[in-house]
Amino acid sequence: MRMALQPGSLSAPPVRTVEYLLPSVPAGVGEARSLVRSDLIHWGLTHIIDDCLLIVSELVTNAVRHGGSAYALRLETRADRLYGEVFDPGDGIPAQRSPDLDAPSGRGLQIVAAIADEWGVAAASGGKVVWFSVICAP
C-alpha cells in the first residue's frame, strides 16, 4: 500500500510532549521544576528554562494550595512555541488579584502574565486547566 505524504511533513519539526501526574504536596513544586528543567534541556530549549521554571512554579503552587490531591503537568512543543498546562480537580477558576504591597502572596498569576507570551484558564471536566505558551524560537 502506498500513502501520499503531506507537503512539508518531513521538514516540520517534531512535536514533543510530556505529561506528569504529581501529588499535591509542597515538595511537588520542586519536583515539577526539576522535571521541566530536565525536559527543556533534553529538547534543546535551555534559553527559556528560567522563564518556564518560574511560570510552572507559580501554577503548580496554586494547584497544590487550591486544587485537590493531585495535579497534571503537561508540556508540548508546537512550531515555535512551548505550551504548558496544569490541570487540577479543585473548584473555582483562578483570577489575577491585586494584593496590597505588604501581602505575602497573591501575585502568582501576575508573574505568569508578565512572563508568558500567552496564558489563560479554562474549565475542564472535573476541574480546571491553567495554560501558558512561551515562544521558543531563538
pTM: 0.84
Q: Which residues contact 96 (CB under 8 A, 6 or more apart)?
A: 109, 110, 113
Mean pLDDT value across residues 85-97:
82
The mean of the pLDDT values for the chain is 85
pLDDT average, residue stretch 57-66: 92
Chain-centroid distance of CA 126 in Å reads: 18
Asked if the model's pLDDT at residue 39 lies above 80, the reply is: yes
- In order of 23, 24, 71, 101, 138, the CA distances from 123 in angstroms are 21, 19, 14, 30, 32
Q: What is the DSSP string of 28-48?
A: HHHHHHHHHHHHHHHTT-GGG
pLDDT of residue 14: 64
